[in-house]
Structure 1
């Protein structure tokens, strides 16, 4: 689950109790601390979304139970950082109908429809069919203004422009992106995080990408290998941007991270 979905495993076939009468295929916690329910179907099942939503409703009514599970499996720190603003439902199936895709796009929850494909007996591929961010969805222009206001409180006009340009560049990489706000960073997410934008420092903006630093010609003052180093957000390649020109220089790295996520 962590390799393919960016979700840390908590439990499988999790019983929701005699009153609710269900078993959740998998429970997990994503890279940003959001609770995740994963439902699996072998073929096409018209009830998978409704079943998942049924379990999401249970989850929101049993937050303390979920946090207790996180504490037992992942520790006290992870339990204290659970992000309840955007619980996620990931449905993995052989295929989905056009009605499934339409229903997801009309819903207010964060839902990912993922189609699996088997290649021989050794390989499996996952393809995102539809992805919505539910309650976290905001118009792109409004998102940029929110970032700009947050930066303006601390930095000034140049940092407002730079942070806004980074935000727009990351959100313009393709369909199915979500933006998740945490106290110490903003995460840009497909199934997994593709980038994390940290609050601006005095003279630069830092972004962490899901790009292997070994595959990049590192440039001092622009890119840095932070694998094994502690930092906010996720990703092992740090990109330091001090100007709008640096945002342009980073475009290829942004696209590579989008593809990897």
Structure 2
């Protein structure tokens, strides 16, 4: 965001200058009050105490739209300790799963508590700026970490920019038994829908360097802070993708795109895209880009 220039264009063109907050609490209060809209995270607690033994307070505690626990740490400007501080609290959180579960149940209900995804807890650091050492440091950890830079513009505008994101490194999958891998009739080639599923994965990840993916049982989410696409497991003859693109801004095509606003489905997003062939995937590319830009 340091390279972004914002201009007011009504009348004479005037640059809108950016500024940092007067105090860290100014940023925290604004983001906490609009947490779902800004970061795709449901609010659970502010200044959450980690107890007398641990001796700390988590700036903001939440749960994202995929059920992942989220620790958010705020800094007014550049702070070399923000990542280590956040990881300190994230480790505490992972060690206190039951306490977090009770908090989710109290604030969001039993259904939300049953969906907590402990395989992918997240740390979001919101600060005035980050250093190249911060960018390097987050790639050395096996955690999901987002570095988000903020700026105030004039009296009425506020900006957030994701400057770096890394996904948690999954545990190495267990090797299949030799007898299973070499059993008569073992499949050598993937089915058509599995191949299409892999191509969709490549297409979505190829939209930008700031994309991470989260695997749930019923869908795989692609996010840049917030989900922009959710892909369900392949069906026999089609693959369903849900996007954050506004269905009202899309020319809906029966059998290809559908407005599912208010309809229950796995994942998030109001635009359903049905993929059956590589040609479907090709014409879905613009919708993928639209959704990626919308979050």
Taking structure 2 as the reference length, the TM-score comes to: 0.81
What's the secondary structure of 1:135's corresponding residue?
coil
Bigger radius of gyration among the two:
2
User: 1:188 Cα shift?
Assistant: 0.9
Report what 2:117 is aligned to: 83
Matches within 5 A, 1:20-99: 20-99=54-133
> Residues of 1 paired with 2:133 and 2:233: CA distance?
40
**Contact preservation (8 Å) 1:7, 1:30:** yes
**Contact preservation (8 Å) 2:150, 2:158:** yes
1:250 to 261, 266, 284: 284
**Contact preservation (8 Å) 1:136, 1:178:** no
- CA change 1:126–1:137 in 2 (3 A) is farther
Report what 2:40 is aligned to: 6
Report what 2:268 is aligned to: 234
**Contact preservation (8 Å) 1:95, 1:116:** yes
User: 1:134 Cα shift?
Assistant: 2.2
Matches within 5 A, 1:1-261: 1-136=35-170, 157-261=191-295
What's the secondary structure of 1:250's corresponding residue?
helix
Taking structure 1 as the reference length, the TM-score comes to: 0.91
- CA change 1:52–1:258 in 2 (3 A) is same
What's the secondary structure of 2:169's corresponding residue?
helix
User: 1:202 Cα shift?
Assistant: 2.2
What's the secondary structure of 2:61's corresponding residue?
strand
User: 1:137 Cα shift?
Assistant: 9.2
User: 1:5 Cα shift?
Assistant: 0.5
**Contact preservation (8 Å) 1:109, 1:133:** yes
Unaligned runs of 5+ in 2: 1-34, 173-185
User: 1:258 Cα shift?
Assistant: 1.1
> Residues of 1 paired with 2:223 and 2:291: CA distance?
10
- CA change 1:137–1:248 in 2 (3 A) is farther
Comparing both structures, which one devotes a greater share of its residues to helix?
1
> Residues of 1 paired with 2:63 and 2:119: CA distance?
13
**Contact preservation (8 Å) 1:93, 1:115:** yes
User: 1:247 Cα shift?
Assistant: 0.3
User: 1:201 Cα shift?
Assistant: 2.0
Unaligned runs of 5+ in 1: 139-151
Q: CA RMSD in A?
A: 1.7
**Contact preservation (8 Å) 1:105, 1:132:** yes
> Residues of 1 paired with 2:194 and 2:131: CA distance?
43
- CA change 1:79–1:37 in 2 (3 A) is same
